[in-house]
Amino acid sequence: MIPELGHYALILALAVAIVQSIVPLVGARTGDAVLMDVGTKTAFAQFLLIAFSFGALTYAYANSDFSLATVFENSHSMMPAIYKFTSLWGNHEGSMLLWVLILAAFGALVAAFGANVPTSLKATVLAVQSWIAGLFYLFILLTSNPFARLDPAPLQGRDLNPILQDMGLAIHPPLLYVGYVGFSISFSFAVAALIEGRIDAAWARWVRPWVLLAWIFLTLGIAMGSYWAYYTLGWGGWWFWDPVENASFMPWLAGTALLHSALVMEKREALKVWTILLAILTFSLSLIGTFIVRSGVLTSVHAFASDPARGVFILVILFLLIGGALALFAWRAPALKQGGLFAPISREGALVLNNLLLSTACATVFVGTLYPIALEATTGAKISVGAPFFNSTFAPLFVPLLIAMPFGPLLSWKRGDLRAAAQRLTAAFVIGVAGLIAAFAIEGKPVVALCAVGLAFFVIAGSVFELIERTGLFRASFSIAARRAAGLPRSVWGTVFGHLGLGVTLLGIVCESAWSVEQIGAYKPGATIPLAGYELKFTGLSKRDGPNYQEQVATFDVSENGRSIGVMEPSKRTFAARSMGVSQAALMSRGASQLYLSLGDVNPDSTTTVRAYYKPVVLLIWIGGLIMALGGSLSLSDRRLRVGSPKLARNRAATQPAS
Amino acid sequence: MIFWLTLAAMTAITLGFVAWPFVFQTGAARSGGDLAIYRDQLEEIERDRAAGLIAPEESEAARIEVSRRLLKAAGSEQKSAVKPAAGAESGARRGVALGATIAVVALLPAGLYYTLGAPGAMLPKAAMAGGADKAGGAPTLEDMISQIETHLRRKPDDARSWEVLAPVYMRLGRYDDAIASWRNVIRLSGDTAEREENLGESLVATADGVVTADAKAAFDKALSLDKDAVAARYYRGLAAMQDGRRDDAARIWRDMLTSAPPEATWTNTVRQSLDQLEGRTPERPSAATGATSQPDARQMQDVANAPPDQQTEMVRGMVARLAGKLKQNGDDPEGWLRLVRSYGVLGERDKAAAAIADARKALVADSEKLRRFDEGLKTLDPQAN
Amino acid sequence: MLVSVCAMSDTADPQATKRRSWLAIAPFAAFAALAILFLFRLGAGDPGKLPSALIGRPAPLISLPPIEGLTGPKGAVPGLDAAAFKGNVTIVNVFASWCVPCHDEAPLFTQLARDSRIRVVGINYKDAADNARRFLGRYGNPYSAVGVDASGRAAIEWGVYGVPETFIVGRDGLIAFKLVGPLTEDNIDSIMRVEIDRALKKG
């Protein structure tokens, strides 16, 4: 009975979404506070209903109720409890329900925390949010019902795809979805601004926390996904320029641009129309990214089985939402009041450069991802655009971006002094050169990588110098500097960590790509593999039984300079229910560097193919991502983002009576 | 009944949420958030100036800019101040809105659930359970399996339950589960020739008749435990034949026949395989070598009664036509039964299992036909399904 | 009611407004083009139509060792000799005993191999020799040569997405066609034989 109730809750949510799409909008247009307030209540109701529906499906998965088609297709009674839960979103239907759950949650968050936003804007935002939600509820109900029953119920499920039986799946999709869906809020704000026909600096301030929130989760999601691919796919790659990866990267680039352009808008009331467009585009890219693969337009290794009926429906939704928003933009944007002009050498000038480069980078990825389709549709030729294209187009865009990045925060608004900023960055430049020389001393070549290491150090040092500059560390006494640091707005810290994280990631990427050591060979037990100063002794193969798989485990004793430092056990798992094998790599961290072992096949001459890698400072790639997300969180916690919120204003009055 | 009441309650609660603002007249129009922001910006400029972070003339310019925004916002605030919603016009509008809202929330889900929902889906289970109670009769095979599975989920180290379940899985064509079960049995209570033979047979079955290296290893182990293990010897012969070592295969099977006790029921099968090996077109696939089950005398005889080559070809053609027909129109329980039986005769147990699954899917809408199909399945030769 | 708030602009330069309105339409126009593209592509995502960069290119010149212990009527079945592609139309089937669809398509290759105008050869992908040999023993061996690709390297060279896959290599040694997925009763006549005839005609 519980799945049926879940199904009904989904239907009720659709009805509520329809109400929310219209009534608050009428309220906002006529200035009727009661009608506007309906939006707040319906947003809560939608969230509760979807949460109930999601709970019902979770219950079915937890209890291995194979009378549900999706449970049957993706679960197995012997599966460990955690995967029973996560297999819910390892398939199309379940992941759609997770998607709308997050969408409804964001709607409820706006209803709850949007108190500093004018009521009519908030009501319009909630209505727009509900158009999105309603379309997706309808999509789920008509084409992807997660509650469809099988009769008679099968006795056993087909098990989850073994590649997905991993903690990475537990974390990665929800993070990514929160990121994607989070951008729906800035989209709704943008559409609402177009409908209201009013847009000013305050708008940017209202939107910024939502953009930041989505950006933080998207950053974490991408980093997590990349790490997951790194350790599960077994050949040590961490980014493949796969369409689905690009799909998550494009909104990230656009979202990062949006984050910066919103800043310009907030401070200078410039770039208004552009910011609105970016807000629409960021979510559009999220939508295209999530759904284009499911519609069957693109094929990818990540693809869920595609179904033509779903494809048509998805395209209709995309067309209504994106096409509708852009049409509205085309109609209304020319009527919006343009902001002021500004000098090229200024903080806002730097941010415009950032936007230019980021959006070009985003367009590059977009073209690289869709060009093969376009070419095939027009000429019939089939090509695939791979890493070489992206690497060679990306570097020329990112290098100037990274060089300019430390300058931005040092320039003042309106009129910046480039020479002064450069002088202040001398020390960072020196550190960059020092990094370059150090890398040369350790690795020698290639020159490109050495320069990139220098650039990474420049970026890292430059971000920290902004902090030193602001606090007057080394000039004033430490206690004064510490007091100044404590007094700095959190968003300054956010900028520092955000930029720092990017530098750290860059350092990891460069070192990993240039100086990884790879050793592939067939070995018999007893053999020793020398690898970048370590020795891996292959001590033997054994068989082990897991709950729903069997695995063949190879054991390696790892030693450094003759001293044993641990054991690595890569394995190959065979999952009975799908008779499918998965290679489980073994990883050993040495500082930020890693040893990486994965097993190939057992050959006829009783040797085992082993892939062994030494990856210098590879962990920095993801640590950098974490630092960026930390920066975002610091920025999000800046009290200025909550100005005008009545509840918090009261708190502030209580703690800081003097202000 | 409880179900429908719950649906009604859910609808009522949702209506409560939606109607709340109308009933309690909640929601005060509020604006001025932008004013607060601009004031905050002014304060910030002042703070930065005091801390010496920006030059005085810069701060002055910024202050003027923000003040201008502040004034404009305050101006538009007054202009667009939300009109107090009152009077007949707004009352009528609210009435219409409330009515429409209630209609949408109360009626639309009812209509949608009528078309999309499947409240019947949860009934068969209940009916089945009720029926079993009433009859007081033996529980079905499915019930027993799910009971044992539930038990094993809690106590995965219960070897006896695995041993009960394993042959049932084999019979149902769930070879992967059978393999896992036999492995568990062997892991938990040691190996015997019989268990290894069973594991080997499941492995052969899941490989669609190929004696894989794993299966061969299981049979070898069985023979090391009991050198007279019949099935293991037979499959060793089959492995030799599939290897192309025809002489070895012939020797193994001939040895089996000469050493067979007089009451042995399996000699027919072995003789059949041997005939085929030494006789006509041996490298052609045939039902005999493809048979993955325990050697089955009756089945072998059917094949023997006709020129085997033609016979198989004929049967295969018929089966393919039948399968095609059922794919187009699956509303025929008898047809499905025939298909399942035919695959069984051909020794294609995977396809038989798949056909059973397909049949259930095709017949799902018609419970009467589905029942007929299930009844029919029970009467089929266990080797065939 | 939307129009009422539309008159926001207080910049009076009609020229500039006009230019801006064209710019504002650009994103929508771009998206419309994209949507049309998607519409055309819908349903073209059939994995059987995955692009192969190798069609029209020479078949990879890799020789592969034979399956250990595999014999046929004429003695041991040889491995794959890359040089033998020239001069014959060759069907190259990538198979493995562990791949379920391979079992289904195996009898069809026996049918295909009866055609004396073509050579049918196999690449045994990531398989154990025992299993591969008995797989061929079980269904009958349609291949005049079988190469073992234990590491999967050859499959990478051939651009294989997954097993089974079947290539037609023309007399000129160029890959003429690629079938992703199994040969079936449905596609053997409608696709495979048609493509074989085309390759034969090409001379």
Domain of residue B181, CATH code: 1.25.40.10
pLDDT-based confidence at A22, cuts 50/70/90? Answer: very high
**All partners of chain C with 3 or more CB pairs under 8 angstroms:** A, B
- The amino acid at residue B66 is V
The tokens of A303 are what?
């693809």
d(CA B233, CA B251): 11
- The amino acid at residue A31 is G
Residue A654 pLDDT greater than 50, yes or no: no
Select from B212, B239, B285 the Cβ nearest to the Cβ of C97: B212
φ and ψ of A215, to 5 deg: -65, -40
Report the number of distinct structural domains present in chain B: 3
pLDDT-based confidence at A340, cuts 50/70/90? Answer: low
Which residues in chain A touch residue C11, judged by CB atoms under 8 angstroms apart?
337-338
Query: What pLDDT is stored for residue B383 in this prediction?
Result: 41
Average pLDDT over residues C34-60: 65
pLDDT above 70 covers what percent of chain A? 88
Q: Average pLDDT, whole number, for chain A? A: 83
Q: How far is A37 from chain B (nearest CA, A)?
A: 5
| Per-residue pLDDT reduced to its tens digit, A162-209 | 767 777 777 888 898 999 999 999 999 999 999 988 788 888 888 999
Instruction: Single out the residue in B119, B151, B183 at which a domain terminates.
Output: B119
pLDDT-based confidence at B73, cuts 50/70/90? Answer: confident
Do B286 and B148 belong to one domain? yes
User: Buried (b) or exposed (e) across A287-313, using 16+ Cβ within 10 A?
Assistant: bbbbbbbbbbbbbbeebbebbeebbbb
Taking phi over 0 as left and psi of -120 to 50 as alpha, with beta for the rest, C87 belongs to left
Query: What pLDDT is stored for residue B136 in this prediction?
Result: 40
Picking from A493-502, B40-49, B78-87, B209-218, which range would have the lowest pLDDT averaged per residue?
A: B78-87
Query: What pLDDT is stored for residue A108 in this prediction?
Result: 94
Question: What letter would DSSP give residue A303?
Answer: P
Query: What pLDDT is stored for residue C12 in this prediction?
Result: 42
Which residues in chain B touch residue A604, judged by CB atoms under 8 angstroms apart?
none
**CA distances (Å), origin A460, targets A360, B261, B375:** 24, 85, 74
Residue B129 lies in a domain: no
Residue B288 lies in a domain: yes
Residue of A18, A121, A139, A151 to mutate, interface with B, max B Cβ within 10 Å: A151
pLDDT-based confidence at C45, cuts 50/70/90? Answer: very low
Average pLDDT over residues B285-311: 40
In the sheet with A586-590, reading across from the earlier edge strand, the strands are A517-523, A608-615, A593-602, A586-590
pLDDT-based confidence at C80, cuts 50/70/90? Answer: confident
Q: Of A94-103, A230-239, B188-197, B332-341, which one has max mean pLDDT?
A: A94-103
Cβ atoms of residues A16 and B11 within 8 Å:
no
Overall CATH class of domain A1-162: mainly alpha
Average pLDDT over residues A390-418: 83
pLDDT-based confidence at C4, cuts 50/70/90? Answer: very low
User: Buried (b) or exposed (e) across A171-194, using 16+ Cβ within 10 A?
Assistant: bbbbbbbbbbbbbbbbbbbbbbbb
Query: What pLDDT is stored for residue C54 in this prediction?
Result: 66
Q: How far is A105 from chain B (nearest CA, A)?
A: 16
CB contact under 8 A, B244 and C128: no
pLDDT-based confidence at A85, cuts 50/70/90? Answer: confident
Do B300 and B171 belong to one domain? yes
Strand partners, A612: A519, A597
Cβ atoms of residues A40 and A130 within 8 Å:
no
Do B178 and B235 belong to one domain? yes
Which residues in chain C touch residue B241, judged by CB atoms under 8 angstroms apart?
137
CB contact under 8 A, B121 and A4: yes
d(CA C171, CA C202): 8
Q: How far is C95 from chain B (nearest CA, A)?
A: 14
**What is the end-to-end Cα distance of chain B in Å, rounded?**
39
Question: What letter would DSSP give residue C78?
Answer: P
Do B51 and B34 belong to one domain? yes
Select from A195, A196, A330 the Cβ nearest to the Cβ of C24: A330
Strands C71-72 and A586-590 turn out to be: unpaired
Q: How far is A470 from chain C (nearest CA, A)?
A: 40
Average pLDDT over residues A610-616: 88
Which residues in chain B touch residue C106, judged by CB atoms under 8 angstroms apart?
285
Query: What pLDDT is stored for residue A6 in this prediction?
Result: 92
In this complex, how many residue pairs, one in chain B and one in chain C, have their CB atoms less than 8 Å apart? 59
- Domain borders along chain C are 13-41, 50-201
**CA distances (Å), origin A135, targets A138, A337, C194:** 5, 32, 45
Instruction: Single out the residue in B259, B282, B305 at which a domain terminates.
Output: B305
CATH number of the C50-201 domain:
3.40.30.10
Residue C160 pLDDT greater than 70, yes or no: yes
Query: What pLDDT is stored for residue A294 in this prediction?
Result: 67
Residue A622 pLDDT greater than 90, yes or no: yes
What are the counts of helices (DSSP H) followed by strands (DSSP E) for chain A?
22, 10
Strand (E) or helix (H) holding B173: none
Residue of A nearest to B104 (CA): A15
Query: What pLDDT is stored for residue B32 in this prediction?
Result: 67
pLDDT above 70 covers what percent of chain B? 74
- The amino acid at residue B310 is Q
Alpha helices in chain B (DSSP H): 2-24, 33-50, 56-80, 87-116, 123-135, 141-154, 159-172, 175-189, 193-206, 213-225, 230-243, 246-258, 267-278, 287-290, 297-304, 308-328, 333-346, 349-362, 367-379
Q: Does B121 touch chain A (CB under 8 A)?
A: yes
Q: Using CB atoms and an 8 Å cut-off, which of residues 356-395 of chain A contact chain C?
A: 370, 372-374, 376-377, 382-384
CB contact under 8 A, C27 and A326: yes
Instruction: Single out the residue in B257, B280, B305 at which a domain terminates.
Output: B305
Do B145 and B281 belong to one domain? yes
Do B297 and B314 belong to one domain? no
Picking from A376-380, A448-452, A587-591, which range would have the lowest pLDDT averaged per residue?
A: A376-380
- Report the length, in residues, of chain C: 203
Whole domain around residue B374: which residue ranges?
Answer: 310-384
Select from B209, B242, B284 the Cβ nearest to the Cβ of C133: B242
- Report the length, in residues, of chain A: 659
Do B265 and B174 belong to one domain? yes
pLDDT-based confidence at A250, cuts 50/70/90? Answer: very high
Residue C155 CB neighbours (<10 A) = 20
Do B268 and B344 belong to one domain? no
Picking from A236-250, B102-116, B164-178, B274-288, which range would have the lowest pLDDT averaged per residue?
A: B274-288
φ and ψ of C55, to 5 deg: -65, 130
The closest alpha carbon to C122, from C97, C91, C154, C159, belongs to: C91
Average pLDDT over residues C5-28: 60
Query: What pLDDT is stored for residue A325 in this prediction?
Result: 94
Q: How far is C102 from chain B (nearest CA, A)?
A: 10
Question: What letter would DSSP give residue B282?
Answer: T
**All partners of chain A with 3 or more CB pairs under 8 angstroms:** B, C
- Domain borders along chain A are 1-162, 524-615
Who contacts A143 (Cβ-Cβ below 8 Å, separation ≥6)? A307, A309, A310, A313
Residue of B nearest to C186 (CA): B324
Residue B253: helix, strand or coil by DSSP?
helix
Residue B87 lies in a domain: yes
Residue B303 pLDDT greater than 50, yes or no: no
Select from B210, B283, B350 the Cβ nearest to the Cβ of C134: B210
Q: Rounded to 5 degrees, what angle do the CA atoms A91, A95, A101 make?
A: 160
| Per-residue pLDDT reduced to its tens digit, A292-322 | 766 655 554 444 445 667 778 888 898 999 9
Strand (E) or helix (H) holding A475: none
Rg of chain A over all Cα atoms, to the nearest angstrom: 27
Which residues in chain A touch residue B156, judged by CB atoms under 8 angstroms apart?
78, 547
Do B224 and B267 belong to one domain? yes
Residue of B76, B83, B210, B219 to mutate, interface with C, max C Cβ within 10 Å: B210
Residue B40 lies in a domain: yes
ω before B124 within 30° of 0 (cis)? Answer: no
Residue A645 pLDDT greater than 60, yes or no: no
CB contact under 8 A, B104 and A33: no
| Per-residue pLDDT reduced to its tens digit, A538-577 | 888 888 877 677 788 888 998 888 888 888 988 888 776 6
pLDDT-based confidence at B308, cuts 50/70/90? Answer: very low
Average pLDDT over residues B199-211: 88
Q: Does B147 touch chain A (CB under 8 A)?
A: no
| Per-residue pLDDT reduced to its tens digit, B212-257 | 888 998 999 999 998 888 889 999 999 888 888 888 888 888 888 8
Residue of C99, C108, C138 to mutate, interface with B, max B Cβ within 10 Å: C138
Residue A214 pLDDT greater than 90, yes or no: yes
CB contact under 8 A, A200 and B101: no
Residue of B nearest to C76 (CA): B244
Residue A646 pLDDT greater than 60, yes or no: no
